[in-house]
Structures are given as C-alpha cells and as structure tokens.
Amino acid sequence: MLFADVLKRAGISHVCCLCTSGELAKYRVPQLIDEYKNCGLSVFHLPIPDGDPPTIPIAIALIENIKFALDSQHKVLVHCFGGLGRAAVVVACYLMTLDSQMEPKTVIELIRQTRGARAIQTVKQYNFINDFHKLKEDYSSLRPFNKP
C-alpha cells in the first residue's frame, strides 16, 4: 500500500511537505510529491533546508494554507524528514498565530511534550520561534512603495 493511501485512510486530505528535493532523493522517495498528488491529496511543497527555520514569508504562507485547510474541516499533515525540526517549528508558529498571547516558551514546551524532548532541534529554529511574533509583525507592516 502506498504511503499516500495510508494518509487518506487516516482522513488526511492536505500535506505540507518541508523536505527538499535532495532529501527526497537521498531517502529514495523522489516521487513522493507526485505520489501524494496522484492519490488525490492537496499538496503544498515548500522546501526548507534541514536544520533551518522557514523564512518569515514561507512561514506565513504555510500557516495561511494550514489555517485554510483546517477551517474547511480538512486534516493536514505537516512533515519534514523526522518531524522534530522544521515541521515542529511550523506547527509552533501556527499555534502562536492562533493565540497571539501564547509565549514562545509555552509553545516549545507543548511541542516537546507532544513530539519529545528533541523537538525544535537547532538554535536557529529555537530563535525563530522566540522571534516569530516580532518577525510576523515586521513583515505584516511592510508596504510597497507608492507609485508616482
């Protein structure tokens, strides 16, 4: 049975894949994105290098897509290779977007209770979560120059 079929049987209809094409090839699943699509899953593929956090535009795009799918009563899988670094960061940022009062320390503890003590793997990822509210605010305040 294909992995995508297992996801569909679990009720998952949307997939956010954070793996790079190099990772997919390295782990011998270079056609994974196509497999998801061929099984009728909605796929949002935004690769993030292993160990890195997303950029703020990518984080916001992922969060908006996750929110849209969940608001439409769909189940979403957010995954990287191990599910402890990049995916954990994206989910942490999503949770902080849902609750703008949620402190980074609280969301990191919640993710680690759920995924294990190794979740949020690098200093860059940890710092991104700690800076997320400010990064999001700064990004949202950017406006294009007015045309003359």
**Residue 80 annotated among the catalytic residues of the structure:** yes
Return d(Cα 12, Cα 75) in angstroms, integer: 5
Packing angle between helix 123-140 and helix 104-115, nearest 10 degrees?
130
> CATH second-level architecture of 3-140?
Alpha-Beta Complex (3.90)
Q: What is the pLDDT of residues 56-115, one digit of tens each?
A: 999 999 999 999 999 999 999 999 998 899 999 999 999 999 999 999 999 999 999 999
Q: What is the pLDDT of residues 123-146, one digit of tens each?
A: 999 999 999 999 999 988 886 665
Global confidence as pTM: 0.91
Return d(Cα 142, Cα 23) in angstroms, integer: 33
Order of strands across the sheet with 42-45?
42-45, 12-17, 75-79
The one catalytic residue in 16, 17, 19, 80 is 80
